[in-house]
Amino acid sequence: ATCSLQNTNANLHPLWKGQLDIPGGTRQSPIDIRVRDSIFHPDLAPVKTHYDPNTCLHIWNNGYAFLVEFDDCTDKSVVSGGPLENPYRLKQFHFHWGVNNDWGSEHTVDSKVFPAELHLVHWNCTKYRTFEEAIMEENGLAVIGIFLKVGRHHEKLQKLVDILPSVRYKDSLTEFNYFDPSCLLPSCSDYWTYAGSLTTPPLTESVSWIIMKKPIEVDHSQLAVFRSLLYSAVGEDEKYMVDNFRPLQPLMNRTVHSSFQ
């Protein structure tokens, strides 16, 4: 079923209650990608990722999603090419998902919603000194977005799924080593790209978005484990971590480019 889910402010996670709209925001994310309106850019090179599994540090629950964080002190894990003018270092990856398989992604494609979406967050290490600085600057971040659909079991994702119970509560952290996120990329290199923002506070308009056209497949039980995580900390009344996606934002004066015809 395809439905363009319009979240009301009422049922959004408290994190977004205050900051749903950036006053004067002209390039907010996520957006609905209208395939017919996207413009093919023949000189858009393929996106090149090089990830070193040894840079994987830990996984933690920040009260809004679970983040797998990487050592970004060197250029060992980077993305380059595509719309990017230089390499960007991998800082973390995380997901957004729904309470069931009918919705959960942040971006949509011709109003089609996916059950989840993976974001690989990188920062522009050529222009800025730290991730925290880059997050506040134009072209500071490059985020690769990958849709998830329910289908075959994802072998390589299972290592991550198995560790999730250890970060069930907000602010819990556990060591997580030797994971190469390349295994989560779809086989097809086709993508859309547009200028946008973080979809969580501080919602800064610093992101070059790269949205892969093809989803990856995970099975129902793997997504079910995502939904067993909690927004709440130990001792607080349990609130399941589900529907941690931001509502669609207006395209305004932006063009989405595609790497494919």
Binding footprint of ligand ID4 on the chain (CB under 6 A): 94, 119, 121, 132, 135, 141, 143, 198-200, 202, 207
For residue 121, the partner it binds in ligand ID4, Zn ion, none, with Cβ less than 5 to 8 A by kind, is ligand ID4
Residue 62 CB, nearest approach to ligand ID4 (Å): 7
C-alpha distances in Å from residue 159, one per residue of 70, 117, 176, 177: 16, 18, 10, 10
Q: How far apart are alpha carbons 89 and 123 in whole angstroms?
A: 5
For residue 202, the partner it binds in Zn ion, ligand ID4, none, with Cβ less than 5 to 8 A by kind, is ligand ID4
> Before 165, cis peptide (omega within 30)?
no
For residue 170, the partner it binds in Zn ion, ligand ID4, none, with Cβ less than 5 to 8 A by kind, is none
Residue nearest to Zn ion (CB): 119
Contact of 46 with 213, CB cutoff 8 Å? no
Q: Which pair of tokens denotes residue 173? A: 């952290």
Query: Which residue in 27, 113, 43, 26 sits closest to 258, CA to CA?
Result: 43
User: Given the rule CB under 5 A, which of 18-26, 31-39, 71-79, 117-125 is the region that contacts Zn ion?
Assistant: 117-125
Q: Select the residue interacting with Zn ion from 89, 119, 122, 246 (CB under 5 A).
A: 119
Nearer of residues 39 and 185 to Zn ion, judged by Cβ:
185
Residue 153 CB, nearest approach to ligand ID4 (Å): 26
Contact of 44 with 190, CB cutoff 8 Å? no
Q: Which pair of tokens denotes residue 129? A: 């000194």
Residue 49 CB, nearest approach to Zn ion (Å): 17
Q: Which residues bind Zn ion (CB under 5 A)?
A: 119
